[in-house]
Amino acid sequence: MTPSLMHFRPARNWMNDPNGLVFHGGRYHLYFQYNPEGATHGFMSWGHSSSTDLVRWEEHPVAIRYTDEHEIFSGSVVFDEHDTSGLGAAGTPPLVAVFTLADQVARHQAQGIASSLDGGRSWRLYEGNPVLDRGSADFRDPKVFRYSGPAGEYWVMVAVEAVERRVVLYRSDDLKTWAYLSDYGPRGATGGVWECPDLFPLAVDGDPSEVRWVLLISLNPGGIAGGSGTQYVIGFFDGVRFVADEPIPPAAPGEGWENSRVQLEACDWLDHGRDFYAGVTFSGLPDEERILVAWMSNWDYAGLLPVDVGSPQRGAMALARRLSLVRADGRVRLRQEAIGPEVATIVARADVRAEGPVELIGELPDRCRIDVCVRLDGADGFDLNLGDTSIVGYSAAEGILWLDRRLAADTMPDGFASIEQVRIGAHGRIELVIWLDRDAIEVFASGGTRTITDLLPERDDAGASIAGRGGSVLIERFEVGAVRDLVSTGSSADMKGQTA
Ligand code: FRU
């Protein structure tokens, strides 16, 4: 695949989950599951990149490397400002990474830590590892945050017993000794192992007197679109226990529960596409600023995606997203807004009426943002064709928005051809924000409370057209903003150089 500048990917080799997201020293650090030895999953280590704007990423040397005994699986980073861990040096509090030490031979997973005194560039494994061991084969993906509330002030770890479909919570005063708090699940979607949890507070509609906690649970397979997906649950965390706001039907594995579309739709999903997984949020930002990064792939076929033989590479991140909570359709929902690159408008059209297919732009840029607002003017819906690799469609009668990427899927691995859908209700007017890369698409609908993210077969130069379904539509707005050239920063040995 052609390297893309809109979505972060390392210059070479394999990447999956985002790890250790932390804003520190004026930079956003993005560590990630990385194989320094090749373009398939293995020898898992933490790769590293950083950015000042979440858009232009600079890749750094591998941060935490696999050892003879362990691979370094997913986890998080916190700034231990008061040196509670004692891993700092005179005057320099440490960054502490908390991750899963995965022994693939002995089938054992426990949590370990490492510290950095140079702002996240180099890391030292703690001699006392592991710091938390349940004797489990599937205990992983610790996300640590600082809790401060009526129950006190301490570190909280949210991790999973993946196969049991349980989120487990622990507390610590020093990041080295951990005491059990509570657990959550199995509940909601349980058709696959639970992975990469996150738990954080957000104010509903920005009102600080109405704070809710959001629990993210990635699961694989069993996602709403098939394969990997991420459900979210809104509730309350009192420093010990997370309690969901709404009664979610208890899971009944083995009774076909996990396979029922109706039941899956009863859960809330971070994204309704095939390629948005293991998303977690940054630490080091104020509570009201919640920014998430997710891996843009799906375990169903991630290891089979075509690679460029010259510099084999697999895996990309979706655009960073700003999260907020809003009251919509009588309930509290997550709203997501992409933090995308700057764009320059190249086409802006208004009041175009379409029944049969009407061309909206002759050639789409390689990477662009598309803002579209369609009014149903006799039609039941529309088909918006984007560059011959994807169709975004809507039907008011069904109240469904969909993304069809089957068009050119014959160049892709088995199981890739798919059509994704999300229920958005019946509306006379649909507004979408779409970020389109050469080989990926992120669709934001209903003010960002519904999103669909998919990888796409690589696009040839082609334009966009729209057709009404069973009548005419009025395109009130169609605006294409081309992403300005981002200078590729490649790899660098240190973090001093700023991206251009
Ligand atoms: C999720 C995951 C995690 C694990 C990591 C291994 O995609 O399976 O549970 O820590 O990937 O690379």
In a domain, 491, yes or no: no
How confident is the model over 217-228, as pLDDT tens digits? Answer: 999 999 999 999
Ligand 1 atom nearest residue 102's Cα: 10
Average pLDDT, the chain: 93
pLDDT per residue as tens digits for the range 111-157:
999 999 999 999 999 999 999 999 999 999 999 999 999 999 999 99
Query: For 305-319, what is the mean pLDDT?
Result: 95
- Counted domains in the chain: 2
Return the CA Rg of the chain: 22
How many angstroms does the Cα of residue 112 sit away from the middle of ligand 1?
15
Looking at the structure, do residues 315 and 348 belong to the same domain, yes or no?
A: no
pLDDT value for 241 = 98
Distance 220 CA to ligand 1 centre (A): 10
pLDDT of residue 256: 52
Together in a domain, 278 and 348: no
Query: 356 and 271, same structural domain?
Result: no
Specify the pairing of strand 124-125 against strand 108-116: antiparallel
Q: Which atom of ligand 1 is nearest to the CA of 195?
A: 9
* Mean pLDDT in residue range 276-305: 97
pLDDT tens column, 33-76: 999 999 999 999 999 999 999 999 999 999 999 999 999 999 99
Selecting among 17, 80, 138, 439, the annotated active-site residue is: 17
The finding on whether 190 has its CB within 6 A of some atom of ligand 1 is no
Question: From the CA of 70, how far away is ligand 1's center (Å)?
Answer: 14
**397 and 332 in one domain?**
no
Q: Are residues 87 and 40 in the same domain?
A: yes
Residue 16 in contact with ligand 1 by CB distance below 6 A: yes
Q: Is the CB of 100 under 6 A from ligand 1?
A: yes
Range of the domain at 455: 343-483
Residue 180 has pLDDT above 70, yes or no: yes
Quick check: pTM over 0.85?
A: yes
Q: Is the pLDDT of residue 2 over 70?
A: no
| pLDDT the model gives residue 3 | 40
Place of tokens 């390392």: 10
| Active site annotation includes 17 | yes
Percent of the chain residues past pLDDT 70, beyond the cut:
94
Whether 5 is in a domain gets the answer no
Question: What is the reported pLDDT for 263?
Answer: 86
What percentage of residues in the chain have a pLDDT greater than 90? 88
Domain boundary among 304, 338, 372: 338
Residues 6+ apart with CB under 8 A from 72: 44, 45, 46, 64, 65, 66, 99, 100, 101, 102
Q: Are strands 400-404 and 290-295 parallel, antiparallel or unpaired?
A: unpaired
Which atom, in ligand 1's list, is nearest to the CA of 44?
12
Instruction: Clarify whether residues 229 and 113 are in a common domain.
Output: yes
